[in-house]
Structure 1
Amino acid sequence: MKLKKIAITVAGALFAASMASYSASALAIDNSDIKIGVSIWSSTDVLGSDSKRMLDAAAEALGVEVQYVDQGHVSERVTASVEQLVAAGCQGIIVCNSSDTEMVSAVKTCNDNEVYLAQFYRIISEKNSPEIYAMAKASPYFVGAVHEDEPANGEALVNILINKGCRNIGLIGWEQGDATWLGRWEGYRAGVEKWNAAHPDDQVKLSEPQYAGTSSEGGSKAAEALMAADPTLDALIPAGGGGDPLLGAVAAVERAGKVKDISIVSTDFLPDLGERLTNGSMAGQSGGHYCDPLYAFMLVYNAVKSGANYEDQFIDLTFPYLYVSSPEDYGDYDKYFEQSLPYNAEEIVALSNMSVDDLRAAANKLSIEDAAARASK
């Protein structure tokens, strides 16, 4: 294995030298010897398919082979997917969804096989899982995580509903114990508690969560249960889960004839979000950029190229969410994130040569305005 590390280090040095004079198209890069695995809850649902579209573009721009395993956020399949990708010859893997406990097995598998690993849309909680966080940080092959500020996201979304006049909010989670879900739930509660403390005569109620899994059927059943339990419900938050639970919840509200009575906000953009903001079936949404996996891909790609040792490191890269709450908000998002990708091939190559600090700055800069400005050059 030491020979492998030396070869990777030498290749990394040669690559850095060649990139110093890089001026041709991304097609000049030949990384056919690099294979990166993607363990993902679904590569076909709303968020998963956009994530795959972005990763496929990155793999093409960098000349890297990419292999996907859909694991449905089923615990044993998550851990098995990492083993499967290692067995397939991947030198690096990015993974989502992944609970903190599932990361124990994933990190061990990658340590044992000298394969680099990073999370996307997720991070091991240093607060809730300090031992697992420490284990990951001590790993020479665990690179880090790309994620969002989920409590801030949750608070922003619940405030959209509160400011629309909603006072009786039903909550739909996806998997109990999922770190991202717990972060969003923390934010929803914080927003409600702050409002209620400041408005003793105008209280907001937030239900206990109904759990939907990651399917449309689960979202539909959860919404039906919440509406049946409280006929005065005037808002729903399907917290996430890839987009399908939201589709099911929206369909349930439509079947009940309550589109005008129940406002819905969620995370993970729908493909027809513009229409839904116009017809009122959605009141607002966060998410949208689907670039977490791109940046996790870059972290792992650079680790493979350099052969670096990540012991006592934990790269924590946070993305800002995009928020839309009107058809006008959605117009430019559709143009620069749906009709095209937010990064072209040359920009992807440029990202691949950035330091971690520069990648962090690029991530923090990403917005609809940023994508529009780069596209106009």
Structure 2
Amino acid sequence: MQGAAVHRLVTLLARGGGKEIANEDIKIGISIWSSTDVLGSQCKRILDAAAEALGVQIQYVDQAHVSEKVTASVEQLCAAGCQGIIVCNSADTEMTSAIKTCNDNGVYLSQFFRVISEKDNPDIYQVAKDSEYFIGAVHENEVENGKQLVKMLLDKGDRNIGLIGWEQGDATWLGRWEGYKAGIEEWNKENPDDQAKLSEPQYAGTSSDGGSKAAEALMSADDTIDALIPAGGGGDPLQGAIAAVERAGKVDEIDVVSTDFLPDLGERLENGSMAGESGGHFCDPLYAFLMVYNAIKGNYTDIAGNFVDVEFPYLYVSSPEDYEAYEKYFVDQLPYTNEEIVEISEMSLEDMIAKAQSLSIEDAAARAGK
């Protein structure tokens, strides 16, 4: 985010003559693809902790990344009396409706794991930027993520990579795909005698069964595939793809990398059913939640024209040793205590963004050991 834009979003005590809303009267809605799959349940865990720490109400709507359900979920949460909503998954086109609904109802809104593409959808981006209620987005650099995952595979000697997407047109998927292709192109340019290739994507949706069928289709179409990238979709497509590779007896022949850590990632890195993964934290929704919370409290104002773009760093693991420290500080316990969540909620927007961007395994370990 541009510094000038951050500074225009000043921190104030309260809106409307200094009259502050009590935390117990605040209700924040969560429109999420799933609150029960691998990544979604991790998101729910930290959001529940934030709601408890701040003493606010929270309400979930699972929308399965079905377009009409995404837009309906925002309407449902507004009707339920939420003063703020965070949303994911949400394609750019769906955000037009979501932002209008929130504008009409005076409800604050932010995205997590997603950002509206200013390049691909400038009109929608402008609608978001002009809104007095749409704060912005918390997400990762997906192009760089894609390049890093391809590099993991190429460094392991893989040259024929099968690709599994989840939903056509999803902004995060498109960013990752761009990164995968860029990684292959860079390698091939630098290694003319050792070329690599990437398949066209098979789409899996967000289910384990979809991931399994997509992996089977790729392996059936080309029995020389030596790597698979199930690009994402919450973790379930990845589990289905791994199961398909195991059923085919090709664990030793096909390296699998993906985004969004599985709960048994350490074991899978040990037994070879996964070669590496990116992701590792589920705190995007926490920061989107805290941005909305502060807007409701009146602490963040002058929102129109000041789109907040918070880019989170990914974590990467490619060995059991890499995963061990992550498990200790992100799985066995949350990376933030309730007290730290309260402290973050009281930060200025500038400081909150800096706090988000400093999150790492080393940062969590240092705070846990203080």
TM range (shorter): over 0.9
Q: Does 1:369 align with 2:370?
A: no
Alpha-carbon distance in 2 for matches of 1:70, 1:12: 36
Alpha-carbon distance in 1 for matches of 2:200, 2:84: 39
Give the paired residue count: 357
Structure 1 position 309, deviation (Å) = 3.9
Report the 3-state secondary structure (helix = DSSP H, G, I; strand = E; otherwise coil) of the residue aligned with 1:32. helix
Q: Which whole-Å deviations, capped at 9, do the CAs of 1:108-165 have from their partners, x for residues lacking one?
A: 0000000000000000000000000000100000000000000000000000000000
Partner of 2:60: 68
Q: 1:320 aligns with which of 313, 318, 336?
A: 313
Partner of 2:322: 329
Partner of 2:79: 87
Report the 3-state secondary structure (helix = DSSP H, G, I; strand = E; otherwise coil) of the residue aligned with 1:286. strand
Relative to 1, partners in 2 of residues 1:11 and 1:181: Cα closer, same or farther, differing over 3 Å?
farther
Structure 2 matches for 1:224-303, cutoff 5 A? Answer: 224-303=216-295
Q: 1:138 aligns with which of 117, 127, 130?
A: 130
Check conservation: 1:118, 1:142, Cα contact below 8 A. Answer: yes
Alpha-carbon distance in 2 for matches of 1:174, 1:99: 13
Check conservation: 1:171, 1:237, Cα contact below 8 A. Answer: yes
Report the 3-state secondary structure (helix = DSSP H, G, I; strand = E; otherwise coil) of the residue aligned with 1:9. coil
Q: Does 1:216 align with 2:181?
A: no
Partner of 1:26: none
Q: 1:9 aligns with which of 15, 19, 36?
A: 15
Report the 3-state secondary structure (helix = DSSP H, G, I; strand = E; otherwise coil) of the residue aligned with 2:64. coil
In structure 2, runs of 5+ residues without a counterpart are 1-12
Structure 1 position 14, deviation (Å) = 5.2
Report the 3-state secondary structure (helix = DSSP H, G, I; strand = E; otherwise coil) of the residue aligned with 1:95. strand
Partner of 2:32: 40
Partner of 1:97: 89
Partner of 2:158: 166
In structure 1, runs of 5+ residues without a counterpart are 1-6, 16-29
- Which AA in structure 2 matches 1:364? Q
Alpha-carbon distance in 2 for matches of 1:11, 1:179: 40
- Which AA in structure 2 matches 1:211? Y
Relative to 1, partners in 2 of residues 1:11 and 1:281: Cα closer, same or farther, differing over 3 Å?
farther
Alpha-carbon distance in 2 for matches of 1:355, 1:218: 43
Moved over 6 A (4+): none
Partner of 1:150: 142
Q: 1:113 aligns with which of 105, 108, 115?
A: 105
Identity of aligned residues (%): 73
RMSD: 1.3
Structure 1 position 364, deviation (Å) = 1.2
Report the 3-state secondary structure (helix = DSSP H, G, I; strand = E; otherwise coil) of the residue aligned with 2:252. coil
Report the 3-state secondary structure (helix = DSSP H, G, I; strand = E; otherwise coil) of the residue aligned with 1:152. helix
- Structure 1 length as normaliser, TM-score? 0.93
Alpha-carbon distance in 2 for matches of 1:338, 1:83: 33
